[in-house]
Amino acid sequence: MLYQIFETQRSIMEPFSDLAQAAAKLYSNPLSPISQTPLAQRVSAAYALMHRLGKDYEKPEFGIQTVKVNNTDVAIHERIEIDKPFCELRRFKRFSDDPATLTQLKAQPAVLIVAPLSGHYATLLRDTVKTMLQDHKVYITDWKNARLVPMSEGEFHLDDYINYVQEFIRHLQSIYGNCHIVSVCQPTVPVMAAVSLMASRGEKTPLTMTMMGGPIDARKSPTSVNNLATNKSFEWFENNVIYRVPANFPGAGRRVYPGFLQYTGFVAMNPDRHANSHYDYFKDLIKGDDASAEAHRKFYDEYNAVLDMDADYYLETIQTVFQDFKLVNGTWDVKGVDGKVERVRPQDIKGTALMTVEGELDDISGSGQTRAAQDMCTGVSDKDRLHLEVPGAGHYGIFSGSRWRKIVYPQVVQFIQSHAAPGAKASLSAAAPAKAASVKAATAKTAPVKAKAVAKPVKAPAKVVTQSTAKAAVKPVAKKAAPAQAKAQAKPAAKASAPVKTTWVQAQKKA
């Protein structure tokens, strides 16, 4: 009944939201007589805020028209490459009439970005996609809103998610010979499962696997998201957050975890921050600060647009990732499209380089949760490992915004290029090497890694890169690391069981 009540309320509020929008324009239009009254600007701002609080937010568009490659504008054509019942593989095809640029574009590596299916649309990674288009052929998983998928398409399970990812990897491999894969947040777990299963079968795996802010081992530094999943039973979730789609949608009758419940959870994590943001928007409208008001609108057009998730997929994710910890415990079995059940074995991954990225202030995937992948992929050699910790970055900062563009991306693009296939080692765009050139590394001693009981110690230790945004000296990752030398000379690491090489990066000013 809750879903029906929500939809009824939304339908009732919709005309009032439209009226508020019309009133806001009436009071702000300079040709309107009432816009000249003393309180007109305040009244207009109040109506504009009412409109945004009451409106329905639909799926945004990526809207990427052009990107710059070596200071040349390259046109982007967005198209659906594969259309599955619950997901579209979306490609961003690049076009240029400049011969030199076209030659460079053809030689650049292909990257599959696996977007999260956790309440928001894939457009949340718009900044990620736009940045990576400078140096890569980019594909992304665009997950569909489950309430728009007819019941005739069947159910969607976590196993289906993993099978989708494997199919998309094979598709890119059939075109380019091989590919690279980047996963952000939730998909880090199913992506590791997909690549592990391919490795166990002896299939060709992606050249690199970049994992950013995901719950590989949700036991480490648990956040409020993790605590909710562990404090409530599986039956509680099934009985309290699963509802059937109302009759006015194509997926009527489908059991889903509604997007509006997920959105409520997001807001509940930081209610004061959202309240202050809306109040600032109101004040910006009064002051006539159009740039700040537009930035607010763009952010919340994306943040407020949510989708429903199929109940089976949602519940299985809760149980597998946050309650039973099947990946780290080595007890995860996945059913393939042929019906065969296989065990997920990350230790079988050998030919894929691994990069993990974490934000220091991430309140969704806590510190150490993503880096746990380094402990599990024991078949990956030392030279093919990299861990990046971003001081001052929250969850969204590692894949969107200035920290993503100036700190994370230069490391990601260099990592991918260093492991690209011989035919795909094209020169980077003008922007990427300039940023990467400012990254100067040095080596220091750190304390040994202490693996937890269920996790195997790293056979080939990961190289760790951190970058401080402070103006002063660089801070080391480990708390007991030796202080930096004046010119950051390399020093041999201390002998210890399962040591980790820690690379420091010269400080940059916050953008």
The amino acid sitting at 209 is M
Q: Is the pLDDT of residue 65 over 70?
A: yes
* Residue 463 binned pLDDT confidence (cut-offs 50, 70, 90): low
Percent pLDDT > 90 in the chain is: 71
Residue 69 host element (H or E): strand 66-69
CA distances 453 to 218, 326, 375, 456, 457, Å, are: 14, 14, 12, 8, 9
Q: What is the pLDDT of residues 388-443, one digit of tens each?
A: 999 999 999 999 999 999 999 999 999 999 998 765 554 455 445 444 433 333 22
465 pLDDT tier (thresholds 50, 70, 90):
low
8-state DSSP, 306? B
Identify the three-state secondary structure at position 255.
Answer: strand
Distance between CA atoms of residues 78 and 91, nearest Å: 6
Q: Which residues pair with 359 in a beta bridge?
A: 390
Region 489-511 average pLDDT? 35
Q: What does the pLDDT look like over 355-392, one tens digit per residue?
A: 999 999 998 999 999 999 999 999 999 999 999 999 99
Give this prediction's pTM: 0.82
Q: How far apart are CA 70 and CA 101, in angstroms?
A: 8
Residue with tokens 């568009």: 61
Question: Tokens in use for 85?
Answer: 């019942």
Q: How far apart, in whole angstroms, are the C-alpha atoms of residue 494 and residue 153? A: 57
Average pLDDT, integer, range 168-195: 97
Question: Mind listing the domains of the chain with CATH numbers?
Answer: 2-56+259-307 (no CATH), 69-230+310-436 (3.40.50.1820)
Q: Which two tokens stand for residue 286?
A: 């009064």
**Nearest of 192, 450, 506 to residue 321 by alpha carbon:** 192
334 beta partners:
342
Q: Is the pLDDT of residue 92 over 70?
A: yes
How many Å apart are CA 418 and CA 412, to the nearest integer? 10
Distance CA 220, CA 227 (A): 11
One-letter amino acid for residue 416 of the chain: I
Task: Using alpha carbons, list the distances in angstroms from residue 169 to 93, 110, 114, 209, 341.
Answer: 17, 10, 10, 12, 20
pLDDT confidence bin for 205, thresholds 50/70/90: very high
Backbone φ, ψ for residue 231 (5° rounding): -80, -20
Of 338, 341, 326, whose CA–CA distance to 197 is shortest?
341
Instruction: Please tell me whether residue 344 adopts helix, strand or coil conformation.
Output: coil
- The confidence score (pLDDT) of residue 429 equals 53
Q: What is the pLDDT of residue 424?
A: 57
If one compares 385 and 265, the residue with the highest pLDDT of the two is: 385
**Phi, then psi, of 442 in degrees rounded to 5:** -140, 160
Q: Is 377:354 a contact under the CB 8 Å cutoff?
A: yes
